[in-house]
Amino acid sequence: MEALGINLGFLLVQIFNFLILFVVLRKMVFTPITKMLATRRETISKGLEDARIAAEARENAEKESEKLLSEARSKAATEARELTLRAEEQAKEILKDAEAKAGKARETALAEVEQERVRVLGEVRGQVAALASAAAQKLIGEAMDEKRQHALINEFFAGVKDGKVTVLEGAGAASGPAVVTSALPLSDAEQGEVKKALGSAAEVTFKVDPNILGGLVVRIGDKVLDGSVSGQLGALRQSMR
């Protein structure tokens, strides 16, 4: 080895120094670095796992949130429809109640108007009777018997002569509900005579229509017995053509 220029002692010292340096480097540098890298690798791996778990948790949370939101929207839509239907039903009930009240009020008002109309026409009947008596006296130049005057006037307006309803004479027995129309309101006694004359009529309704001028129009079902002054004038006009 000397021939090669290598000093064995120096070589051994260098080898020993290298071994010592290797041992020192391994113990002081390599081993800590290896441990640090392992720890770093574990930390990174754990971080990645935590990130994966967090991502899954976030995805699950988003899915659950979307599910809850969808359910909330569906529930809200259902409740909104129910509220709308309930509101519509309540509105219909309110409108129906209002219409019923309005109809009742209208019927009440019409009934009151009809009662007032009949009352006024009843007063007019007395005035017409007085005017008719005065006119008759003026025409014949002398006063007629007061009782006879009232009898003629009542006969004219009520169609009742000597306790008989003239329009029903010869008409046969009446059956079914009847509607009796007079030009002016009939007195209670006159209504009683009419009901008595109708006999078997189940129900009698009295109406007032000044257009018939006088006498009575009796409707029993589809049958009409016209003993009114306007009806007689119409028949007279037809016969003269």
Question: What value does the mean pLDDT take over residues 89-114?
Answer: 85
Question: Containing domain of residue 141, as a range?
Answer: 125-239
The reply to whether 8 falls in a domain is no
What total of structural domains would you count in the chain? 1
Residue 187: closest CA among 201, 213, 168, 208: 208
For residue 62, pLDDT beyond 80: yes
Predicted pLDDT of residue 158:
65
- Cβ neighbours of 50 (radius 10 Å): 10
- Residue type for 63, please? K
Whether 228 is in a domain gets the answer yes
Whether residue 3 is contained in a domain is answered as no
Give me the mean pLDDT over the 158-167 stretch.
65
Question: Going by DSSP bridges, is the β-strand pair 178-182/216-220 parallel, antiparallel, or unpaired?
Answer: antiparallel
143 pLDDT above the threshold of 60: no
Predicted TM-score (pTM) of the model is 0.44
Classify residue 175: in a domain, yes or no.
yes
Residue 183 lies in a domain: yes
Q: Pick the closest to residue 157 from 73, 230, 100, 220 (CA basis).
A: 230
